[in-house]
C-alpha cells in the first residue's frame, strides 16, 4: 500500500480521549495498533505488540482468523509458528507473520507514516490484551462508525455547507465581473477590499456582524462564522447569496441590496418556522445526532 493511498484513507476514532487512526482497505477497517500501543508504551510501541503476538493464544486466534477469511493463508508455515511459539529462540513480528503465512490480518506501512495496522477484529483482540478498557472504547467507536455508515458518511449540515461554497463561488464571480473595474483588477489589495465589502454585506444582513468581527470575538475557533451556522442559517445563506449575486449583476447599490436582503431574510425565516419540509429536516438531523452520540 503506497503512502499517498494510506494518507487519503486514514481516519480516526477516540480511545479514552486519544485519537487512534484507522484506514479502510478493500472495504475492511484496519486500526493503527502502533498508535494504540503508544497509550501504554510511548517510548517503544512495538514492544507490547511483539509480546502480544508471541503468545500461544494470539497465534491460535490469528490462525483462526486467517483460516476463515483468507483462502491463500499458508497453513504449512502457520503450523511452524504454532509449534514454535513460546520457545526461547523463536522470535517473530507482525511483518514476519504476514510475509511467511501470506496473512491479510495486518497491513504494514513503512517510512514516515510507518505503522502496524490490524484488522478491526484482530485490533479488538490486541486491545483486550493490552488494556481491557481500550477494547470497550473501541467497540463503542466501531458501533458509532457503523451507525454513521448506515446514515451516510456525510451529514446534512456538511452537505449544506459545501453547497454554500458552490453558490459563494457564483457570488464571487458576479462581484469580480460587476464590482471590480478594469483599472483595479489584478490589484490584490484593492480587489480584496471590494470582495470583503460585498461578502460582509451578506454576513451583516444574516449574522449581524462582519467576518473580522466574528474572528475577533472567536479567536480560538477554526474557519469562519459560516462553518458554525445553524441549518436554518445555511439554507437562508444559500438563497441570499444567489439573490445578491443577481442584484450585483443588475448594478444595485449596496444600500438597496442591504434593505432588500434584510427583508428577504426575515421572510424566509418566517416561512421556515412553519415549513413542513424544514421541520422534517430538523427532526432527521436531531435523530442522526442522537444516533451518532450514542
Per residue of the chain (294 residues), give pLDDT as tens: 455 555 545 677 777 777 888 888 887 889 899 988 888 888 888 899 999 999 999 999 999 999 999 999 999 999 999 999 988 888 899 999 999 999 999 998 887 768 899 998 999 899 889 888 888 878 877 776 665 665 555 567 777 888 888 888 888 888 888 877 654 556 677 777 888 899 999 999 999 999 999 999 999 998 899 999 988 999 999 999 999 999 998 999 999 999 999 999 999 999 988 888 888 888 877 776 665 565
> Where does a domain end: 102, 119, 150?
150
CB 125 within 8 A of CB 39: no
Q: Give the 3-state secondary structure of residue 72.
A: coil
What pLDDT, on the 0 to 100 scale, is given for residue 210? Answer: 93
Q: Are residue 92 and residue 183 in the same domain, yes or no?
A: no
- Same domain, yes or no: 13 and 144: yes
Distance of alpha carbon 164 from the chain centroid: 19
Say if residues 241 and 198 touch (Cβ distance below 8 Å): no
| Buried/exposed 197-224: b ≥16 CB within 10 Å, e otherwise | ebbbbbbbbbbeebbeebeeeeeeeeee
Q: How far from chain centre, in Å, is Cα 35?
A: 18
Say if residue 133 is in the same domain as residue 177. no
User: Of all helices (H) and strands (E), which one includes residue 29?
Assistant: strand 28-32
121, 150, 179 — which closes off a domain? 150
Say yes or no: 71 and 146 in one domain. Answer: yes
Domain that holds residue 284: 156-293
pLDDT at residue 214 in the model: 95
Domain final residue, candidates 133, 150, 167: 150
pLDDT of residue 65: 94
pLDDT at 49: 94
**CA-CA distance, 224 to 156, in Å (whole number)?**
19
* Domain co-membership, 224 together with 277: yes
**Quick one: 30 and 143 in the same domain?**
yes
Co-location of 283 and 176 in the same domain: yes
Name the grid cell of 101: 503465512
> Same domain, yes or no, for 133 and 167?
no
The 3-state DSSP class for residue 247 equals helix
* Number of domains forming the structure of the chain: 2
Q: Are residues 161 and 91 in the same domain?
A: no
90 and 196 housed in the same domain: no
Grid cell digits, residue 241? 447569496
Same domain? 101 vs 178: no
**Do 116 and 43 fall within a single domain?**
yes
Residues 266, 245: contact at Cβ < 8 Å?
Answer: no
The residue to which cell 436582503 is assigned:
261
Amino acid at each position: 500500500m503506497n503512502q499517498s493511498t494510506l494518507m487519503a484513507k486514514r481516519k480516526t476514532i477516540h480511545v479514552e480521549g486519544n485519537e487512534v487512526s484507522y484506514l479502510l482497505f478493500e472495504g475492511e477497517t484496519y486500526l493503527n495498533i502502533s498508535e494504540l500501543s503508544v497509550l501504554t508504551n510511548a517510548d517503544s510501541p512495538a514492544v507490547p505488540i511483539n509480546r502480544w503476538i508471541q503468545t500461544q493464544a494470539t497465534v491460535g486466534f490469528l490462525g483462526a482468523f486467517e483460516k476463515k477469511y483468507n483462502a491463500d493463508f499458508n497453513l504449512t508455515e502457520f503450523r511452524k509458528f504454532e509449534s514454535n511459539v513460546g520457545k526461547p529462540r523463536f522470535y517473530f513480528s507482525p511483518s514476519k507473520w504476514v510475509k511467511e503465512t501470506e496473512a491479510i490480518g495486518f497491513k504494514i506501512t513503512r517510512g514516515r507514516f510507518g505503522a502496524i495496522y490490524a484488522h478491526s477484529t484482530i485490533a479488538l483482540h490486541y486491545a483486550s490484551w493490552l488494556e481491557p478498557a481500550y477494547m470497550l472504547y473501541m467497540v463503542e467507536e466501531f458501533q458509532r462508525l457503523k451507525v454513521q455508515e448506515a446514515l451516510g458518511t456525510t451529514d446534512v449540515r456538511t452537505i449544506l455547507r459545501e453547497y454554500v461554497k458552490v453558490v459563494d463561488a457564483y457570488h464571487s464571480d458576479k462581484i469580480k465581473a460587476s464590482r471590480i473595474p478594469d483599472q483595479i483588477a489584478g490589484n490584490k489589495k484593492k480587489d480584496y477590499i471590494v470582495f470583503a465589502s460585498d461578502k460582509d454585506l451578506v454576513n451583516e444582513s444574516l449574522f449581524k456582524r462582519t467576518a473580522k468581527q466574528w474572528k475577533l470575538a472567536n479567536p480560538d475557533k477554526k474557519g469562519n462564522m459560516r462553518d458554525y451556522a445553524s441549518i436554518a442559517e445555511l439554507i437562508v445563506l444559500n438563497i441570499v447569496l444567489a439573490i445578491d449575486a443577481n442584484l450585483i449583476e443588475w448594478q444595485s447599490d449596496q444600500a438597496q441590496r442591504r434593505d432588500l436582503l434584510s427583508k428577504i431574510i426575515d421572510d424566509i425565516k418566517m416561512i421556515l418556522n412553519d415549513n413542513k419540509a424544514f421541520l422534517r429536516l430538523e427532526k432527521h438531523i436531531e435523530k442522526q445526532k442522537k444516533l451518532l452520540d450514542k
